[in-house]
Amino acid sequence: MRVVHSPRHRSHDPKHELADGEAIDAYEVPERAESIRRSLAADGAFTFEEPTEHGAEPITLVHDPAMLAFLETAWHDWVSSGETADEIFPDTFVLPALREGMGPVRAPGTVRGAVGMWCFDTATPMVEGTYAAARAAVDVALTAMDLALGGEPSTYGLCRPPGHHAARAMFGGYCFFNNAAIVAEQLTRQTGEPVAILDVDYHHGNGTQQIFYGRADVLYVSLHGDPDRAYPYFAGFADETGADAGAGANLNLPLPLGCSNEEYLAHLDRGLEAIAGFGGSTLVVSLGIDTYGRDPICDLALTTEVYHEVGRRVAALGRTTVVLQEGGYFVPHLGENVRTWLRGLDGRGLDLSALPDV
């Protein structure tokens, strides 16, 4: 299987996120992607290539150009206005109620103010190299798509930072540009067919859902921790099925606390059934491995074996598949879990021999 990877991801190297009023070590760190790269490289059946540049247009077909412009200059503007902190966090958030009844929001003249127009949480700091890494992740995703359109049955884009929490005009959840949504949008344009997205990250992909919620030509299917208890809290409910032309083209499958492999596969089959009944020949997978039982920030109970079976069942759809990396935070097993998933997709056997005993 062909893998697209860029060393550029390393320039997004946040040190902290905020939790319960304290700065804690960041979970979304460069070592995640290195763990995946090492595992796939050691397997021998994966070949690596660097992305080609795709420019800004595929991004602005999905995201507000003003958000792209903010991200592009934020670090430079931050430093040149005399700020000295090496991570940018929002100070306030422009919730609709802040200016309720008082007319439109005016863009603040400082990054410290303006970041609260675009970022929705306190877990997603921008650092000096964030923008370059986020742009490279988009190029990784689009290059994986190009290879699939060129005839590969399945390809893998080792995207970092991840993307599925980024909405049209909002970033957060460790995500800046929505790599999967950008690829899905291009697939609709380049194939002229509808496109399905399967999101198996532990967290609901609120950004991807938002971007396509009114669209009939993109099916979004997500398995995730129930938003009644899980981040991002405000989206991912089972009764969110799409709006307007998109009615019926959104399927949320919330999962219970401690969800087992068996329960998970039963939910997966419902999602795959919806995809099988939807048109088009291509599939985008948002592959999060934070469903793992040992993930430090999630609460399901999946084991490595199940990722092989999930990959197998996705392959049985028979679609051209672009797999893009999202979350997964138990770094010691992250690479092997991804490798296991992709081996299942590729019709190869389960191989647990390289799973570290930690």
- Determine the length of the chain: 358
Window 17-46: residues binding ligand Q9C (CB under 6 A): 19
Strands 22-25 and 16-19: antiparallel
- Asked if residue 217 binds ligand Q9C (CB under 6 A), the reply is no
The rounded Cα 353 to chain-centroid distance in angstroms is: 28
Q: For Cα atoms 139, 141, 145, give the angle at the middle one, nearest 5 degrees.
A: 110
Identify which of residues 34 and 290 has a Cβ nearer to ligand Q9C in the complex: 290
Long-range contacts of 104-112 (CB under 8 A, 24+ apart): 110/77, 110/81, 111/74, 111/77, 111/78, 111/81, 111/83, 112/78, 112/83, 112/88
Q: For Cα atoms 122, 128, 131, give the angle at the middle one, nearest 5 degrees.
A: 80
**Smallest distance, Zn ion to C-beta of residue 287, A:** 10
State residue 209 phi and psi, 5-degree precision: -60, -45
- Asked if residue 290 binds ligand Q9C (CB under 6 A), the reply is yes
Is the distance from CB of 30 to CB of 133 less than 8 angstroms? no
Window 77-136: residues binding ligand Q9C (CB under 6 A): 123
Nearest-angstrom CA–CA distance, 9 and 158: 9
Nearest-angstrom CA–CA distance, 148 and 345: 14
- Asked if residue 290 binds Zn ion (CB under 5 A), the reply is yes
Using CB under 6 A, which of the segments 47-55, 129-137, 172-180, 309-317 binds ligand Q9C?
Answer: 172-180
- Asked if residue 157 binds ligand Q9C (CB under 6 A), the reply is no
Q: Show the tokens assigned to 242.
A: 């799409």
Using CB under 6 A, which of the segments 64-72, 110-118, 167-175, 335-343 binds ligand Q9C?
Answer: 167-175
Identify which of residues 75 and 174 has a Cβ nearer to ligand Q9C in the complex: 174
Q: Show the tokens assigned to 130.
A: 């964030």
Identify which of residues 146 and 201 has a Cβ nearer to ligand Q9C in the complex: 201
Q: Show the tokens assigned to 317.
A: 């759809």
- Asked if residue 58 binds ligand Q9C (CB under 6 A), the reply is no
The entry of ligand Q9C, Zn ion, none near residue 207 (CB within 5 to 8 angstroms by kind) is: none
- Asked if residue 240 binds ligand Q9C (CB under 6 A), the reply is no
- Asked if residue 141 binds ligand Q9C (CB under 6 A), the reply is no
Which member of 9, 63, 164, 165 is catalytic? 165
Rounded alpha-carbon distances, angstroms, from residue 9 to 55, 129, 133, 240, 317? 17, 9, 5, 33, 31
Residue 164 designated active-site: no
The closest of 77, 188, 94 to 128, measured between CA atoms, is 77
- Asked if residue 68 binds ligand Q9C (CB under 6 A), the reply is no
Q: Return the half-sphere exposure (C-beta side, CA atoms, 13 A cut-off) of residue 97.
A: 0
**Smallest distance, ligand Q9C to C-beta of residue 271, A:** 18
Question: Exactly one of 125, 246, 280, 288 binds Zn ion (CB under 5 A); which one?
Answer: 288
Total chain residues near ligand Q9C (CB under 6 A): 14
Nearest-angstrom CA–CA distance, 342 and 306: 12
**Smallest distance, ligand Q9C to C-beta of residue 123, A:** 4
- Asked if residue 299 binds ligand Q9C (CB under 6 A), the reply is no
- Asked if residue 326 binds ligand Q9C (CB under 6 A), the reply is yes
Identify which of residues 242 and 327 has a Cβ nearer to Zn ion in the complex: 327
- Asked if residue 202 binds Zn ion (CB under 5 A), the reply is yes
Task: List interacting residues with Zn ion (CB under 5 A).
Answer: 201-203, 288, 290, 327
Task: List interacting residues with ligand Q9C (CB under 6 A).
Answer: 19, 123, 162, 165, 173-175, 201, 203, 231, 288, 290, 326-327
Q: Which residues are catalytic?
A: 165
